[in-house]
Amino acid sequence: MSQFQSIDVADYYDNETFERIKAFASDKVTPFVVIDTKIIAKQYDDMVQSFPFASVYYAVKANPAPEILSLLRDKGANFDIASIYELDMVMELGVSPERISYGNTIKKRKDVRAFYQRGVTMFASDSEADLRMIAEEAPGAKVYVRILTEGTETADWPLSRKFGCQNEMAYELLVLAKELGLKPYGLSFHVGSQQRDIGAWDAAIGKVKVIFDRLKEEHGIVLDMINMGGGFPANYIDKTNSLTTYAEQIIHFLKEDFGEQLPKIVLEPGRSLIANAGVLVSEVVLISRKSNTALERWVFTDVGKFSGLIETMDEAIKFPIYTEAQGELQPCVIAGPTCDSADIMYEQYSYGLPEELAIGDRLYWLTTGAYTTTYSAVCFNGFPPLQDYYL
């Protein structure tokens, strides 16, 4: 028995899908990512089915390819937008402004003005300065305030510390919103991306409930909406519960706190809709050892931290890597092609790759549809940005 986990593609893709992706990939020059939009359509349907009462706002940053945006547009999705540039991408595809939320709490005055002029009326905030600016540039807009959440340790890619404010401040901001002539609309949180602990939603919903009640009792402010962000899982090496289990539990938490009459629920999935749909294909450039007796091989591949795999930072996201090479799995360090020593993907987490893996062989990085293409550097060391194809 090897100490390494071998990757069974069947845990991630059905055979027909993977063969289709592989056949498409066979004559393309590496590295590139192939994204099967059928999988995205299915994951979107699963999300809607799991949370039938919720409005889904796709977090555009996960992958803003027009193929994906138009698919989700046609399926009736809404869009969570973080910049004026993302707004352009989505509106160019004919999405109307009522389907858009400006979800970034860090924004320039001129951008708030532009969003408002283009008809967007829902804004996130988590600070007084931002809220006052919204009141000036987008008078009467609906605002929701983002709260801080716990769960940083159980999310593979935490987002929790940078955004949001303490409960007391969220409460005060919503009171201020009303004074400033805005519509205090709701509360939001993000429990951290690829959140493995479903209990993180329980804690966040509990906090939201307290603020809902206090605003109503003390100020007569009735909030309409809870935005539960993203954090839903994709399939990486570390297993998670299924989306169905997440949904059952989270709906239970909501009903425990809010009863049967739930406020309007917004979800902002990014990773969970897109990641599973992508396979990144790379080629082994070099295999070496650091001494004649070193047990560990270094496997250098033509994709790295600067060409789409930034989520391997601190080895946070462990992508399943499949290769057709045979043989016993042996320990290796996996690194990218650039002249930067940060460009090592996995060194602590010991991936086993087959003994017979050779220079020129292909590596298939599964579950790479989200947070890869746009994270890729434009020209570091002269390497072009990661190529993407959509099926």
Question: Looking at the annotation, which residues are catalytic?
Answer: 339
Among residues 236 and 300, whose Cβ is nearest to ligand PLP? 236
72 near ligand PLP, rule: CB under 6 A: no
Among residues 229 and 354, whose Cβ is nearest to ligand PLP? 229
| Binding to ligand PLP in span 42-71, by CB under 6 A | 59, 61-62
Q: DSSP letter for 386, please.
A: P
DSSP result, 248-311: HHHHHHHHHHH-SSPPEEEE--SHHHHGGGEEEEEEEEEEE-SSTT--PEEEEES--GGGT-GG
Closest Cα to residue 310, out of 284, 353, 340?
A: 340
164 near ligand PLP, rule: CB under 6 A: no
Among residues 90 and 335, whose Cβ is nearest to ligand PLP? 90
SS3 call for 346: strand
31, 184, 231, 336: residue in contact with ligand PLP (rule CB under 6 A): 231
CA dihedral 89, 316, 276, 77 (to 10 degrees): -40
Number of residues located near ligand PLP, criterion CB under 6 A: 17
Rounded Cα distance between 239 and 242, Å, is 9
271 near ligand PLP, rule: CB under 6 A: yes
Sign of CA dihedral 195, 199, 203, 205: positive
151 near ligand PLP, rule: CB under 6 A: no
Distance in Å, CB of 163 to ligand PLP, minimum: 7
Distance in Å, CB of 190 to ligand PLP, minimum: 5
Radius of gyration from C-alpha coordinates of the chain: 22
80 near ligand PLP, rule: CB under 6 A: yes
Rounded Cα distance between 229 and 259, Å, is 21
Binding piece for ligand PLP, criterion CB under 6 A, among 179-187, 270-278, 310-318, 375-383: 270-278
- Token duo for residue 101: 């939320």
230 near ligand PLP, rule: CB under 6 A: yes
22, 99, 190, 318: residue in contact with ligand PLP (rule CB under 6 A): 190
369 near ligand PLP, rule: CB under 6 A: no
Where do contacts with ligand PLP occur on this chain (CB under 6 A)?
A: 59, 61-62, 80, 103, 159, 190, 193, 229-232, 268-272
